[in-house]
Amino acid sequence: MIGLSAFAILLFAGSLWAQAAKERSEIDPQYKWKLEDIYPTVESWNSAFAALEAATPRLEAFKGRLSESPALLLQCLELNDSLSSLSHRLRVYANLKLDEDKRVGASQELADRILSLGSRVSSAGSFIDPELLTIDSTKIQEFLRTTPKLQVYRFYLENLLRTKAHVLSDKEEDILAKAGPVTNSFINTFNIIDNGDISFGTIKDEKGNDLQLTKGRTSVIMRGPDRRMRRDAFYEFNKTYWKYINGLAANLAASVNKDYFLAQVRSYPTCLDWSLDGYNVPTSVFRNIIAAANANLAPLHKWASIRKRILGLDTLRSYDLYAPLGTDVPKTYTWEEAKQIVAAGLTPMGKTYSTDLQMGMNSGWIDVYESRGKESGGYNWGTYTSHPYILLNYNGSLEEVFTLAHEIGHALHAHYQKQREPYIYYGSYMFTAEVASTCNEALLMKHMLAKSKDKKEKVLILKRYIEQIIGTFYTQLWYSEFELAIHEQVEKGGALSVDFFRKSFRDIYQKYWGPELVLDTNNELGGMRVYHFYRPYYVYQYALGYAAAQVVSQRILNKEKGALEAYQQFLYTGSSDYPIDILKEAGVDVTTPEPVARTIKLFGELVDEMEKLLNEK
Ligand SMILES: [Zn+2]
């Protein structure tokens, strides 16, 4: 199976110091999700667990026999799907239960039990893909031709066969598999350093008290109004990384060399070809989006200079890039208001969507409020055989209204997929997963901008939109460009030194943000402390998915002919085709520079609107 993104997207929880006031039992049931829709009681969960445990060894009987007949192959794939679906259902229930209140030991026990059984289930089915790859392609095509019921698996099988040219001999594959702990070690080492060994110092808070820095706190401080604190946090944070810099650089260099090693042994000319082939994406797509961004960085440069002027700074530093603009006055929205705003904002999605949205917001899908022991942040998750579930910690902020729009977008995407896709294609690619959620956000932002009479609220929404494009689009392209630079350095026989990482990260940073931003040596460390660089060519998908969502939302708002219908088709599709073709069906051709160009144009318009608004008295 291709690597799919689960419908569980965790969001960063804004508040670091807040304490939940209520116990879960004190919250009105109308604001809680209904887990009984998955399993009415824990006893029924236990019986399903026992059934799964008993059925798992049945896969064993198919080992080494998949080429015998199409009927046997079909039986095996169906059994594997049903076991995996049941395992997922048990896991979702246990983990949602646990997230209601992390302090409950009984829920933790359910989660641990299904984690362990779940890994036995996947390991029992792990022979299938490698065994299929040993079967002659013509034989599989013959199976597909003669067995109509096998058609469901056509895309899955053909995708597997597509990769066959890069599969090595049994002996070589075995060597590579045995080298797994070595090839996976770099990302582990990075995590151990970054999450274990590293500890940050303290800075003084607003009142002059010591404040222990953490990554989460640093990111909150960077969005705060106190420049002295932002600067201190920036220096303190980076001071820690300087101590580890040679080790981090050596480890990243080793990881990039590992990428090149794997690309070569699998007969790919470059790491980019190797990485993108996983989703069957032509390398020209990647190169085009980088070129399209580079051709028009002016709006981002303009935003830097507006920021500098509004904040009244002599020099704009990286720790000023996310600071409030001074007019940000938080407004609050009740839960009922939030639902109304989201429903109004998503009206352009049409009648069916609006009806389903109401159902989603009012039928036990959502766990609304914070309570003691509850998981923080917000996410959407669910099973193939039940409705979706959304966890929120609704606190009335504008951000939380958008979290609702975002997560309900994922939820409805899952809800529609289940109606059309078989289990094997349920779930989206990393590429397409965020389209349904960010398209909703885009529609809502446009709606609120058009409706709001309150200048401060408008500034807040514009700032949110602008910063979202910077974070999800520009930054991911800049990171992608850095990835390209470090992989190409190795491919042409060059060395990856600390200096190379520093210089190339800084150059791209400066190019994207333009001349107003004054960088210092601390800004050069970024390339060596970002986890994603250990997953080659991953983040460009964020940028491309984001651009696709902007195009879709614009086409819907402009009432372009066929736009809504195409997007509705997209919502019914999981992973039964390649991501580029799925997006094409949604009306977005990411093989052309258009989506990126349109997103940059939108960014420019938002910046102009903000400038106009801020100049008004
Ligand atoms: Zn999401």
Whether the per-residue pLDDT at 170 is higher than 90: the answer is no
Output the CA 530–ligand 1 centroid distance in Å.
20
Per-residue tokens: 6: 């689960």
List active site positions: 407
- CA 158–ligand 1 middle distance (angstroms): 29
Ligand 1 centroid vs 244 CA: distance in angstroms?
Answer: 33
Distance from the alpha carbon of residue 288 to the mean position of ligand 1, in angstroms:
25
Mean pLDDT throughout 150-164? Answer: 95
User: Which chain residues have CB less than 5 Å from ligand 1, an ion?
Assistant: 9, 437
Structure tokens at 499: 């200096």
User: Are the CB atoms for 600 and 293 separated by under 8 Å?
Assistant: yes
Mean of pLDDT over the chain: 93
- Which string of DSSP letters, residue by residue, matches 570-599? HHT-SSSS-HHHHHHHTT--TTSSHHHHHH
Task: Please report which confidence band the pLDDT of residue 195 belongs to, taking 50, 70 and 90 as the band edges.
Answer: confident
pLDDT on residue 327: 66
Q: What is the pLDDT of residue 169?
A: 87
Cβ neighbours for 246, distance < 8 A, ≥ 6 positions apart: 498
DSSP for 144-187 reads HHH-GGGGGGHHHHHHHHHGGGG---HHHHHHHHHTHHHHTHHH
Rounded to the nearest whole angstrom, what is the distance from the C-alpha of residue 550 to the centroid of ligand 1? 15
Ligand 1 centroid, distance to 378 Cα (angstroms): 9
Do 347 and 3 meet the contact criterion of CB atoms below 8 Å apart? no
Express each pLDDT in 315-337 by its tens digit: 999 999 999 987 666 789 999 99
User: Is 7 a residue whose pLDDT tops 60?
Assistant: no
Task: Please give the Cα distance from 430 to 434 (Å, whole number).
Answer: 7
> What sign does the dihedral 371-377-383-388 (CA atoms) show?
positive
Cα of 172 from ligand 1 centre, angstroms: 39
* C-alpha–C-alpha distance, residues 88 and 75, integer Å: 20
Gap from CA of 285 to ligand 1 centroid (Å)? 23
Find how far residue 189's CA is from the centre of its chain. Answer: 23
- Which 3 state secondary structure label does DSSP give 367? strand
Residue 482 pLDDT grade (very low, low, confident, very high; cuts 50, 70, 90): very high
Alpha-carbon gap, residue 450 to 33, rounded angstroms: 33
User: What's the rounded mean pLDDT across residues 124-129?
Assistant: 94
Q: How far is the CA of 407 from the centre of ligand 1 (A)?
A: 6
Structural domain boundaries of the chain?
A: 38-181
Are the CB atoms for 560 and 592 separated by under 8 Å? no
Q: How many percent of the chain have pLDDT more than 70?
A: 96
Residue 365: predicted pLDDT: 98
Task: Identify the band that residue 431 occupies on the pLDDT scale cut at 50, 70 and 90.
Answer: confident
**What does the angle CA 609 – CA 613 – CA 615 come to, to the nearest 5 degrees?**
120
Alpha-carbon torsion, ordered 375, 380, 383, 385, to 10 deg: 130
What homologous superfamily is domain 38-181 in, according to CATH? Answer: Oligopeptidase f, N-terminal domain (1.20.140.70)
Over the stretch 216-268, which tens digit does the pLDDT of each residue have?
899 999 999 999 999 999 999 999 999 999 999 999 999 999 999 999 999 99
What is the CA(545)–ligand 1 centre distance, in A? Answer: 11
